[in-house]
Amino acid sequence: MSKFDEIIGYAQIKNELKQISDTLKNPKNYEKLGISAPTGLLLYGDPGVGKSLMANAVIEDSGRNVFVCRKNKPNGEFINEIKKTFDMAVENAPSIVFLDDMDKFTNGDVGHRDAEEYVTIQSCIDEIKGKSVFVIATVNETRVLPDSLLRAGRFDRSIEVLAPCGKDAEKIIAHYLEGKKVSDDIDVKAITKLLDGRSCAELETVINEAGLYAGYKHLDTISMEHITNACLRMFFGFLPPCYDDSDTDVQSIMLPEIIYHEAGHAVVSEVLCPESVSLIYVGNGKSRESGVTHLYNNQNTTSQYWAKSRLTTVLAGAASTEQKFGTVDSGAHSDYERAFDLAEKLVEENCIDGLHLFSFKYGHSQHYLSAQEQVVTAEVERYYRKAKEIIALNKEFLEKLAAALAEKKLLCEADIKKIKDECKIVPVAL
């Protein structure tokens, strides 16, 4: 079994890594073409996405000696450690220098790109050219590194590693579920929607956390309820129901408003983007932040329709509360902030109200800012009314969702789909 087989998903990146490894294993094939092997590979992306696993796959597959350099000494001593690592690699060529978490080699930030550590690495890379030493580096943030270090000739290949999504995420989740005792209700596709945009490390931790909940209750299998409980705890900061021993009969007077607020988000999202809501939860109602509706990005997130539907969905919580109780939703402050941010992007970047408000190099005059403020506010008002229209036309769906939330507090994708299938959904154009 190849080390590359341990990389689940990421087919395109894996193929590129295999090609790089081939240049290290079979340099003569490329020398015949008059081609020199690349000098370095940079893998960058958020923590926990598998950069080190990918680097180790190249290292093991190449069969070369490897010399690893991590920040484990004070700055002065670490400079010598970097030089020593490269010297040992030259002595034991053909070899690989692995600079793990290179952006952590200095305590500086984007304003300290000329740190001595980076200057030393540049110098060492220049000195090893033609000596059969390949450099692999992993970084979380490239912005803190000097451009001169990142250029071709030092790191000929730069590969961004994103959090897994879609089929890749499904494969990784299925892999982490292997060997676990799970119940029949486990739905990998539904879990993928819940964990959309999360790193590989987070996917693994959620599965393990779910197992802890099952074990705490002395159960034989892990269920979807345990998965959703783990998500609530890890990503939304809610105490999972399995740990909540509070008296559920004592409900806050705010709870009904929270229920309709979250149901409003869900109704509008499902009408505009079917199968986009993967979880709805309302807590004890002790604060305005006692609820969450998790949305899955099942649309092209660069399209105007997605932006408009997301703007309408963000405003739907307040719209639902106002329509049901006839009062302004005092807990929607963060929704309003997000709505104005989304509307501003639609106006500035997508030019939905004309090119005259396109944000460009001419700067922002007082006239521009005043016009922008008026247009953005008008757009937010327009989509707020649109949210109210969708909710009014789909009142049956809203009421059934609210009733289910009042009873169960937590609805997963299957629950939402079942309720939706029982209702007549009235589509609304944006």
Lowest mean pLDDT among 166-175, 265-274, 295-304, 372-381: 295-304
Q: What is the pLDDT of residue 124?
A: 95
- Cβ-proximal residues to 80 (8 Å cutoff; 6+ apart), any chain: none
pTM of this structure = 0.85
The domains of the chain, with CATH numbers, are 3-160 (3.40.50.300), 166-238 (1.10.8.60), 255-421 (1.20.58.760)
Give Cα 125 to chain centroid, integer Å. Answer: 33
Lowest mean pLDDT among 74-88, 105-119, 208-222, 386-400: 105-119
Average pLDDT for 229-240: 87
Percent of the chain with pLDDT over 90: 69
Sign of CA dihedral 311, 312, 313, 319: positive
**Structural contact between residues 298 and 275, judged by C-beta atoms closer than 8 angstroms:** yes
Give Cα 349 to chain centroid, integer Å. Answer: 23
Q: What is the pLDDT of residue 303?
A: 81
Q: What is the pLDDT of residue 87?
A: 96
Lowest mean pLDDT among 198-202, 291-295, 299-303: 299-303
Average pLDDT for 105-114: 65
Other CB atoms within 10 Å distance of the CB of residue 10: 23
pLDDT per position as a tens digit, 177-197:
999 999 999 999 999 999 988
Calculate the average pLDDT of the chain: 89
Indicate the pLDDT class of residue 304, thresholds 50, 70 and 90: confident
Please state, in angstroms and rounded to a whole number, the distance separating the CA atoms of residues 337 and 342: 9
Indicate the pLDDT class of residue 250, thresholds 50, 70 and 90: very low
Name the residue type at position 330: S
- Cβ-proximal residues to 218 (8 Å cutoff; 6+ apart), any chain: none
Indicate the pLDDT class of residue 359, thresholds 50, 70 and 90: low
Residue scoring higher pLDDT (272 or 153) = 272
